[in-house]
Every structure is written in structure tokens, then in C-alpha cells.
Amino acid sequence: MTAKSPFIYRFEPGSTANAPPLLLLHGTGGDENDLLQLGAMISPGSPLLSPRGRVLENGMPRFFRRLAEGVFDEEDVRHRALELGDFVQDARERYGIGSPLAVGYSNGANIAAALLLMRPRVLSGAILLRAMVPLTDPPEADLAGKPVLMLSGRHDPIVPDDNAAALAAMLSAAGAKVDHRVLPAGHQLSQADIALARTWVAETKHREMVP
């Protein structure tokens, strides 16, 4: 962390040319270290930018407040998404990296989705793991062509199937290229999530490099 940033965070420089920068966004109770290994597995050699959520719920870090499980404080979601967007822009200048691909899990996936809708230019795309609709009345966003991978769990007790489908539809309607897959899993991540995300990143990077 630097004195300039309101976030506690980790930054790991990249080691592979053309590997996309990743913005790693943890779930409730996680921190800036939680997803570093996941990031390295799904995109080896990528620069990794991993902030800690600034909201505490019973001592557990989150990226925004909620009123109950699955019920979000949407005013806070908007404020925190803009705050996170400013952090990413500052980090890009500080470390000389391009627009990152967000990799968010649970609460981190929800703030990533909100960031896509509130500040479309900040991210190059997103991997949303167990995400829900973050805003019931989002602003109009232009996500034309931005790649988004959504991985939901068929047996997830937290994220209803129709809610995940609604988020996929919302992002698609804004122009994103959404690949939404429902896995035979719960809310926790599985090896299938890692394998699918890694393949998707490689294929997305290849498509962007081919003229």
C-alpha cells in the first residue's frame, strides 16, 4: 500500500509478455492475499493487482455493505464501485499496466459487475465467479465487445439461478460478450472453475492478438 491509496493491496509484477493484468477481488472475509494463487493459475505471468475490501461486516472485509444476505445497499455499491475504479486508474499509472481483467469471487464478483456497469472503460473484461445482480437499476453502460465469463453453481445456496441469469442478460444487453456457464457445484470454487477460467483467458488473449 502507498500513502496515496485508500486501499490495502498487493501488486505482483508480470513476468510474461502480453499476459493481461488481473484485478483480483476477494469474497466476504477474504483479503488482498486470497486470490493471488488463483490469478497465477488462470493466467500465468500476469501482473496481479489485489485490493482488500474497505467495508467490514462483523470484522470481515467486503467491497460494499449489504442489508441482509443477498440484499445489497445499492447506494453503497455505487459509491464503492466508483472508488474502486479510481483505485484501478491510479494503479495503472503507478505500475504502467493496461486495463485489467477483473477476476472476482462472490462479493468480489458483485463489485466487479458493478464496476463494469458504472465505469465501463476501467476494465478490459471480467471473470465473475458466483456473481449476483449488484444494481437493480444500473446506469446505461456501453460494454460493446467486452469479454465476460460468468461461472455459476447449480447448487449454490446463496445465488439463485434466475438472479445469475438476470446478470448475464443485463451485461449482454449492454453489449458485453458473455459466456455464462452453470457448473455442478455450490458457492465454493472447484477445479472446474479454475480450468475453465484458464482456458477462457488463453482463448480471449489469442483472439485479441489475431488481426
Whether 205 shows a pLDDT value over 80: the answer reads no
Q: Which of 76, 99, 172, 187 is catalytic?
A: 187
26 among known catalytic residues: no
Question: Is 125 in a helix, a strand, or coil?
Answer: strand
pLDDT tens for each residue of 150-159? 999 999 999 9
Whether 2 shows a pLDDT value over 90: the answer reads no
Q: Please state the rounded mean pLDDT for residues 104-116.
A: 98
Strand partners of residue 126: 102, 148
156 among known catalytic residues: yes
CA torsion, ordered 37, 42, 43, 48, to nearest 10 deg: -40
Which residue in the block uniquely carries the three cell numbers 465467479? 129
Whether 208 shows a pLDDT value over 90: the answer reads no
195 in Cβ contact with 167 (< 8 Å):
no
Q: Which of 26, 124, 156, 180 is catalytic?
A: 156
39: its cell numbers: 490469478
- Name the pLDDT band for 5 (thresholds 50, 70, 90): confident
Buried b (16+ CB within 10 A) or exposed e, 89-127: eebbeeeebebbbbbbbbbbbbbbbbbbbbbbebbbbbb
Question: Is 39 in a helix, a strand, or coil?
Answer: helix
124 among known catalytic residues: no
Check residue 17 and give its pLDDT.
Answer: 86
186 in Cβ contact with 153 (< 8 Å):
yes
Strand partners of residue 181: 151
Q: Are strands 125-129 and 177-183 parallel, antiparallel or unpaired?
A: unpaired
Mean of per-residue pLDDT scores for the chain: 94
User: How far is it, in rounded angstroms, from Cα 116 to Cα 119?
Assistant: 6
Check residue 211 and give its pLDDT.
Answer: 39
- Name the pLDDT band for 207 (thresholds 50, 70, 90): low
User: How far is it, in rounded angstroms, from Cα 111 to Cα 108?
Assistant: 5
Q: Please state the rounded mean pLDDT for residues 15-31.
A: 96
Check residue 69 and give its pLDDT.
Answer: 84
Q: What is the CATH number of domain 9-209?
A: 3.40.50.1820
Q: Please state the rounded mean pLDDT for residues 60-65.
A: 98
Q: Which of 106, 124, 152, 180 is catalytic?
A: 106
pLDDT tens for each residue of 66-80? 998 889 999 999 999
